[in-house]
Amino acid sequence: MPKMKTKGSAKKRFRVTGSGKVKFAPANKGHRLMQKPKSAKRKARGTFIMAKGDAHKVLQSFMPNSNVKKKSTKKKTGPVKKTAAASTAKGA
């Protein structure tokens, strides 16, 4: 089976943070800026963190080689906490 390749357009548009979140720059800052309201241009500054669902789709289908740890779907069961009543019953 051939290697899975990262989409070139995704490499240019998205960055993956250290914690696995996807950063992106918002749209509508390219051209025809005189016709756009000042508030829209102001809101489109900088970068934003993508929503979880969208980020999952981007990482899975467009950037399969980004070194993001895959989260397991199994529920983790930790150690059972002892209650005060249970510990005094054993000691008595």
Domains of the chain, earliest start first: 1-66 (4.10.410.60)
Q: What is the pLDDT along the chain (92 residues), one digit of tens a residue?
A: 888 899 999 999 999 999 999 999 999 999 999 999 999 999 999 999 999 999 999 999 999 988 776 665 666 677 777 777 666 666 65
Give residue 50's pLDDT.
97
Exposed, middle or buried: residue 16 (CB in 10 Å: 0-12, 13-18, 19+)?
A: middle
The H or E element containing residue 11 is: helix 8-13
Give residue 49's pLDDT.
97
Answering whether pTM is above 0.85, one says no
